Chains A and B, each alone.
Chain A
Amino acid sequence: MTFLPSPGLFEDAPDADLDSGFFALEGELLELACVRECAVVHTELPELGGALVVAFVPLAPEQEIAGRRAVLAACQRNLPALYAHAVAVDELPRTAEGAVRDGELLDGVMPQLARDLMSPMAMSD
């Protein structure tokens, strides 16, 4: 017997859920003491569609892996339906008010995202 998914099973989550989950995630990421800085952007990735890109500045090079785990765990808790990719950066581009320059951040991390998604190590994520 073939299992047929009910209509709407793979539709995007309602926007209200995305909004509340996204802001809860933002709040949780701000509380992480194991990364220096963190920013989350909701965007469309080539061939993947809607995804969360979380850029973080690790406390130290050797704490990059721990920071990535913590960041991805927060994403999993708050927005489990969305694919999340965490990428470490040297610095987050910010305005003088402190807001992250989303476009500039994505421009900077997109080649690294492409590399991560193409390489076997990142495929295991």
Chain B
Amino acid sequence: MIKLDDIRRHAAARPDAIAVADGATRLSWADLADAADRCAAGLMARLPDTGPVRAVFLARPSWELTVALAACATLGVPCTGLDPAQEGDRLDALLRMLDPCAVFVESRYRPLLEGRTWPNGPGCSWITLDTAPGGEADAPKASGAPRTEVSLRRLSESEPLRRLPEPRHRESLDVVPGGQRVAVRGAATEGRGLVALIDEFGFDAYDIHLVAAPLWLPLSLNLARTLLAVGATVVLDATQDARTLAGLVTAEHVTTAVFDPAVLGRLLADPASAPLARLGRLRCVITPGRHLGRWTVNAAWERLGPALHLAYTTPGTGPSVILGPEEGQVSRMRTGRATLGTTIAVLDEEGAVLPAGRPGRVAVGGPHVMDGYLDGEDDAFVTLDTGAGERRFFVTDDLGVLDEQGRLTLTGRGSGVTPPARDHALDAALFRLESDLLNLPCLRDAAVVRVSLPTLGDALVVPFIAVAVGREVSGHTALRTACARRVPSLPAHVIAVDHIPYSPMGRIRTAELLEAVVPIITLSLQLEQSERQEIPT
């Protein structure tokens, strides 16, 4: 994120201009400078004097996270974002690899970190970003944990720094998807990447940039940092709600944006996005585009205007290939041109550069490419001469082909097709359960839906229509027995309903069905729980 001296520079030039907007909270450049200054001072007092000093964050985009990241950048503490949706084993491995001395966490993600251990864990400072309802957010410590905990608000009550400290490190760390490795970028690489992004998209201080993707996504963080570096306003959204986003684009006069692909899909499918193209202010919308299809490109053109840029980006390569809005109309998906300063090469099995039209392994060289991995291995790098002198290239796992105009089309992955790990016994049990349900005479219809919800956990929801009024109890018993016999590893919530919604093709409309039955099941579970508590009393 942007450093304090850069924030102060903007604060001196335009102290009252808005730097960060997050809902009703608006930080001017002067406010942001003051908050980052105090936060950096409070954080500095809590960091160890020796050893590698790193931080991690688990939070949605917010002004508090922006201040925390600015404080870390000022002190030279690499602060790496973690994906809250990743599996626990991967999170454990990442925490051991990064070994953070400070953790910035939003209350909702706190349970994900509780109970996890890493070498610096016992002495690690936990900084809660949001204030829980009812006052100070300092939550009770887990039993036996000697760590220190403080809220960002309390951290920001520190006296401002008298002079800027010497940065502890000059690098940033990004997690490679899959959570197995961490990409390292030095300050020089970061600076080159930032300048290249400004040149590529023409960002300036009059831009208003919407962040609708989590900041642990390197593309999202890089763009937010770049826009703040040029003095633009950054508008943060944590709701991921289509209507809220459409409202923000209109109300804040957004000119550039970064979207999570799923959120972009929801926005484009929502009627609220229909008038956005007519506003004419949105000039650049960037989203990771490797997995997006034709409908998204067409709908974005219609609803947002000529603004959508699909970026092919990984933490290793950075945004190396871009498919612009006009090119998107005439090129195949997964095609794009190299970003400014980036060179794409396609290599054969021996590592030699292939001519245009020949498919092979994609290698990327340029300002956005990482310097190496945290574990020190650099086996993925080669030195190539593509006609402009020798240059270091990162060899990706992607297969692709370059055309005569230098456009790259991704054609596959070097690692091939990898089927997801499955519990085949459970899948077979679900098939047998379905067969059983077809033969139950006491049901008119039943639907099995597997859910993974915070309220129910990993479970089966089984709504059914009884064969006749008054036969709900027997249907309920039969279904519970069938579920317990066939799929004993998953709890089954059986519930009688009047209607099971179907699509014209006979598909059960699960979203509609769950919307109707999950609140009833949750309420019923809460009642059962309170009854159990009352009986001993």
B111 at the interface (CB under 8 A from A): no
Residues of B within 8 A of A18 (CB): 416-417
Assembly CA distance A41 to B291 (angstroms): 13
Nearest opposing residue in chain B for A44, CB measure: B424
Instruction: Say yes or no for A81: interface residue by CB 8 A criterion.
Output: no
Whether B420 pairs with A43 at a CB distance below 8 angstroms is: yes
Contact with A along B107-150 (1 / 0, CB 8 A): 00000000000000000000000000000000000000000000
How many whole Å from A76's CB to the nearest CB in chain B?
18
B241 in contact (CB, < 8 A): no
User: Is A111 a contact partner of B503 (Cβ separation < 8 A)?
Assistant: no
Contact B505 A68 (CB under 8 A): yes
The chain A residue sitting closest to B314, CB to CB, is A97
CA distance A20 to B292 in the complex (A): 20
The answer on a CB contact under 8 Å between A97 and B295 is no
Given A65-B504, A118-B435, answer yes or no on A31-B419 (Cβ-Cβ < 8 Å): no
Bound CA span A38–B333, Å: 13
B416 lies within 8 A of A37 (CB): no
**What are 19 A-B pairs with beta-carbon distances under 8 A?**
A15-B416, A19-B412, A22-B417, A27-B334, A31-B293, A33-B295, A33-B298, A46-B430, A47-B428, A61-B504, A65-B504, A88-B505, A96-B217, A97-B177, A98-B260, A98-B289, A112-B510, A115-B448, A115-B508
Q: Are B295 and A59 interface neighbours, CB within 8 A?
A: yes
A18 to chain B, nearest CB (A): 6
Q: Is A95 an interface residue (CB 8 A)?
A: yes
Interface string of B403-425 (1 = CB under 8 A from A): 00000000111001101111010
Cβ-defined partner of A96 (8 Å) among B213, B438, B509 = B213
Interface size in chain B (residues, C-beta < 8 A): 62
A-binding segment of B28-36, B44-52, B66-74, B261-269: B261-269
A36 to B269, alpha carbons, bound, how many Å?
9
With an 8 A cutoff between CB atoms, is B214 at the interface? yes
Tally chain A residues at the interface, Cβ within 8 Å: 62
Q: How many Å from the CB of A124 to the closest CB on chain B?
A: 12
Q: Given the interface contacts A106-B422, A111-B448, A114-B433, does A27 sit within 8 Å of B411 by beta carbon?
A: yes
Please report which residues of chain A, range 39-86, place their CB below 8 angstroms from some CB of chain B when the two chains form the complex: 39, 41-47, 58-59, 61-62, 64-65, 68
Q: Please, how many angstroms separate the alpha-carbon atoms of A119 and B507 in the complex?
A: 12
A35 partner residues in chain B, CB cutoff 8 A: 293, 295
Cα distance A33–B293 when bound, in Å?
8
Please name the 8 residue pairs, one residue from A and one from B, whose CB atoms are nearest each other, closest first: A98-B261, A23-B412, A102-B420, A114-B434, A46-B428, A98-B291, A30-B333, A111-B448
Contact call B269/A114, Cβ cutoff below 8 A: no
Q: Report chain B residues within 8 Å CB of A4.
A: none
- Establish whether residues B419 and A41, one from each chain, have CB atoms under 8 Å apart when the complex forms: yes
Across the interface, A107 reaches (CB within 8 A) one of B220, B290, B431, B452, namely: B452
Asked if B449 lies at the interface with its beta carbon under 8 angstroms from chain A, I say yes
What residues of A have a CB within 8 angstroms of the CB of B269 in the complex? 36
Asked if A30 and B420 sit within 8 Å, CB to CB, the answer is: no
**Nearest residue, chain B, Cβ from A68:** B505
Having A44-B424, A65-B504, one finds 16 other A-B pairs with CB under 8 Å, namely A30-B294, A32-B293, A37-B265, A45-B427, A46-B427, A47-B431, A96-B216, A98-B261, A99-B290, A106-B422, A108-B450, A114-B431, A114-B435, A115-B434, A115-B447, A115-B448
- Known contacts A27-B411, A29-B293; A65 and B288 CB within 8 A of each other: no
Q: How far is the CA of A116 from the CA of B435 in the complex (A)?
A: 11
C-alpha gap A104/B87 in the complex (Å): 12
**Contact between A37 and B295, CB atoms less than 8 A apart:** yes
A96 touches B214 (CB 8 A): yes
Determine whether the beta carbon of B265 is less than 8 Å from that of A43.
Answer: no
Pick the contact of B291: A45, A100, A111 (CB < 8 A): A100
Q: Are B261 and A111 in contact (CB under 8 A)?
A: no
**B468 within 8 Å of A (CB atoms):** no
- Which of B262, B413, B419, B434 interacts with A111 by CB under 8 Å? B434
Chain A residues positioned under 8 Å from B509 (CB to CB)? 90
Determine if A111 and B450 form an interchain contact, defined as CB atoms under 8 angstroms apart: yes
Q: Is the CB of A27 within 8 A of B503?
A: no
Closest to A61 in B: B503
B residues 475-523 in Cβ contact with A at 8 Å:
503-511
* CA distance in complex: A103, B90 (Å): 15
Flag whether B287 is at the interface (Cβ < 8 A): yes
Residues of chain A contacted by B450 (CB below 8 angstroms): 107-108, 110-111
Q: A111 contacts B430, CB within 8 Å?
A: yes
Are A90 and B504 within 8 A (Cβ)? no
A58 to B536 alpha-carbon distance, docked (Å): 52
Chain B residue, CB-CB nearest to A15: B416
Does residue B83 face the partner (Cβ distance < 8 Å to A)?
yes
Which of these, A100, A103, A114, contacts B421 with CB under 8 Å? A103
Q: Are A27 and B333 in contact (CB under 8 A)?
A: yes
The answer to whether A27 and B332 touch (CB under 8 A), given A33-B295, A61-B504, A65-B504, is yes
A121 to B502, CA, bound (A): 14
**Residue B251 interfacial (CB < 8 Å):** no
Which residues does chain B contribute within 8 Å of A112, judged by CB atoms? Answer: 507-508, 510
CB atoms of B295 and A36 under 8 A apart: yes
Those of B245-289 within 8 Å (CB) of chain A: 260-262, 265-266, 269, 287-289
What is the distance, in angstroms, from B167's C-beta to the closest C-beta of chain A? 28
Specify which chain A residues have a CB less than 8 angstroms from the CB of B413 in the assembled complex.
23
Question: What CA separation (Å) do A22 and B399 show in the bound complex?
Answer: 13
